[in-house]
Amino acid sequence: HVDGLRVDAVASMLYLDYSRNEGEWIPNAYGGRENLDAIMFLRQLNEAVYGEFPDVTTIAEESTSWPMVSRPTYIGGLGFGFKWDMGWMHDTLAYLERDSIHRQWHHGEITFRSVYAASEHFVLPLSHDEVVHGKGSLLGKMPGDDWQRFANLRLLFAMQWAQPGKKLLFMGCELATPSEWNHESTLDWSLHDADGHRGVRTWLADINHLYASEPALHRGDSDPGGIQWVEGSDAAQSVYAWMRKDPTGESRPVLAVFNATPTPRHNYRLGVPQGGRWAELANSDADGYGGSGVGNFGGVDTVPVDSHGFQQSIVLSLPPLGALFLAPEPTP
């Protein structure tokens, strides 16, 4: 049984001039650079797959701005179920690979995705391409001492899980291996319960559970109403905050907050859409993950102080190189 098909290097099929110099390619019948035969083939492929097996998916690894890759063929799309968001992968990794003191100058690498996030059905990939050919492992890319590298890696996964889009993690990345993937050897299972590595694996398990149990985190992945920025301009402190929302309105919102520096941020005020107590659902800096234990004692109460366009706000302690997930507790 095959769950779906991933088509590699779709951009090289769509463009006649892909990786070709002037004079090395022939324009199409209309004088353009689009490969009309390839476009027809990809549409027919997706129509055939979904026509025979409507419960599977097809995914395009497509790295350009070609429109409607994951839209139906009957409205002019290519018909794929999903498209890899290569821009998110490159921007986020480039941001987190920098030493934290320099991140304030590259704040837009995290916020830019909101410009196009709802234009396709996206998959957020951390794929094999990023952990081979001398690029190093995900843990190896992270700056700082050992504690900071593990904290940065947990922060990376938190950002991935909090963003709209489906999640793709290459095998073994949950082990936080220090060396890149080697197809000649097995995964280093000796790291499964090693200090630091166990914390990353446990953090992934916990945010997986959170992702499945909180509809706001997985509904509306391709809906502009599925995310609302709360704080996107605090470059000086490298803090981000956004609200994941259920477009159906049936479930509670989830506030995701990130501190991309090793400096804890105490008394940090953020506006929220409703009053009451906001529970701390997950904290990547918790002791159980190998963190320093900076947090909010399980939750915080709102105060009637305007902030970020809301009439209610909460005051948080933001952990170093950490991520928080919060949601309003049900009212009695």
- List, for residues 262-278, the tens digit of each pLDDT value: 999 999 999 999 999 99
pLDDT above 70: percentage of residues in the chain? 100
Q: From the candidates 3, 8, 129, 206, which is the catalytic residue?
A: 8
d(CA 129, CA 63): 13
Can you count the helices (H) and strands (E) in the chain? 7, 13
pLDDT tier, 175 (very low <50, low <70, confident <90, very high otherwise): very high
Gap between the Cα atoms of 78 and 57, Å rounded:
13
- Inter-CA distances, 239 with 145, 150, 321, Å: 21, 19, 10
Q: Report, in angstroms and rounded to the nearest whole number, the Rg of the chain calculated over CA atoms.
A: 21
82-102 per-position pLDDT tens digit: 999 999 999 999 999 999 999
The pLDDT of residue 317:
98
Catalytic option among 61, 91, 120, 246: 61
Q: Where are the alpha helices (DSSP H) in 55-107?
A: 86-97
How much is the pLDDT for 19?
Answer: 93
Are 143 and 183 in contact by the 8 Å Cβ rule? The answer is no
In Å, what is the CA distance from 81 to each residue of 75, 122, 211, 263, 331? 14, 9, 21, 41, 39
Q: Does position 163 have pLDDT exceeding 90, yes or no?
A: yes
* The pLDDT of residue 172 is above 80: yes
Residue 182 has a pLDDT of 84
Q: How far apart are CA 220 and CA 7, in angstroms?
A: 25
Ranges 36-45, 94-103, 170-179, 259-268: which has the least confidence = 170-179
Strand-pair partners of 228: 243
Q: Catalytic site residue 109? A: no
| Cα 98–chain centre separation | 18
Which tens digit of pLDDT belongs to each residue from 58-71? 999 999 999 999 99
Q: Is the pLDDT of residue 332 over 80?
A: no
Instruction: For residue 248, give every residue at least 6 positions away whose Cβ sits within 8 Å of its Cβ, in sequence order, or none.
Output: 215, 219
- What is the mean pLDDT of the segment spanning 224-249? 97
How far apart CA 57 and CA 119 sit, in angstroms, is 18
Q: In the prediction, which pLDDT does 331 show? A: 79
The CATH class for the domain spanning 224-328 reads: mainly beta
Closest Cα to residue 299, out of 267, 327, 269, 265? 327
Q: Check whether 245 has a pLDDT greater than 80.
A: yes
34 is catalytic: no
What pLDDT does 127 receive? 87
Per the prediction, the chain carries an average pLDDT of 95
Extents of the domains making up the chain? 4-84, 224-328
